[in-house]
Amino acid sequence: MKRRVKYRWLSPDGYIHLGMSDGRIVAEHRHVWECAYGAIPDGHQIHHRDGNRANNRLENLVPLLPGHHKREHVQHWTGPGGEWWKRCTKCGRAAPEDDFPTKRYVDGVRKTRGNCHECERARLRAKKGLPAEGNSHRNFGRFIGPRDSVSGA
Ligand SMILES: [Zn+2]
Ligand SMILES: [Zn+2]
């Protein structure tokens, strides 16, 4: 027995819901994705690429793990030159999106990380077990003048 869609409505939360012939109610974006690809992978959420929860065209939908999904929803706004700006999820500094490190390319479109270059560098250093930048070891090996000039007279 194949389920049919009986009702379709826009919910106050911006999602379109479907009333199915078997009496169940499903979110349209989940239904559209599952009709095309089968069951949604465990623990994944369906994300709307363009941010419009009612745009349930297949190419607008992508399954993401909750952690990655949250990143896609980092606040964006338009800067003075019409460019996209966003805020670093780590330090809160705002910058044009082009200034954020590259995360990956999707269909030739550059996707950026949620954290800025500095935070990304700090993250990678911490991962490698290196001390944070800007600490007391900074001047090691740097010529700071003849010995006499330091001790003074
Ligand atoms: Zn989403
Ligand atoms: Zn940052």
The pLDDT of residue 144: 55
Looking at the CA of 62, name the nearest ligand.
1
In the chain, the amino acid numbered 23 is: G
Q: What is the pLDDT of residue 110?
A: 82
What spacing in Å lies between the alpha carbon of 92 and ligand 2's midpoint?
6
Determine which helix (DSSP H) or strand (DSSP E) holds 111, and give its type and residue range.
Answer: strand 109-112
Confidence of residue 20 (pLDDT cuts 50, 70, 90): very high
Listed in sequence order, the residues at least 6 apart from 87 whose beta carbon sits closer than 8 Å to its beta carbon are 74, 75, 93, 94
The rounded distance, in Å, linking the Cα atoms of 72 and 103 is 12
Q: Comparing 1-66 with 74-133, is the CATH topology the same?
A: no
CATH architecture entry for 74-133: 2-Layer Sandwich (3.30)
- Domain-wise residue ranges, the chain: 1-66, 74-133
Ligand located closest to 117 CA: 2
Q: What is the pTM of this model?
A: 0.50
Residue (of 76, 73, 50, 75) closest to 61 by Cα position: 50
Distance (angstroms) between ligand 1 centre and the Cα of 52 equals: 9
Question: In CATH, what number does 1-66 get?
Answer: 3.90.75.20
Q: Report d(CA 8, CA 18) in Å as an integer.
A: 5
Task: Examine the pLDDT at 153 and tell me if it is beyond 70.
Answer: no
Structure confidence at residue 136 (pLDDT): 47
pLDDT band at 61; cut points 50, 70, 90? very high
What pLDDT was estimated at residue 127?
A: 92
* Ligand 1 centroid distance, CA of 68 (Å): 9
Indicate the average pLDDT of the chain: 83
104 Cα–ligand 2 center, Å: 18
Distance 20 CA to ligand 1 centre (A): 24
The DSSP secondary-structure symbol of 40 reads P
CA of 77 to the centre of ligand 1 (A): 16
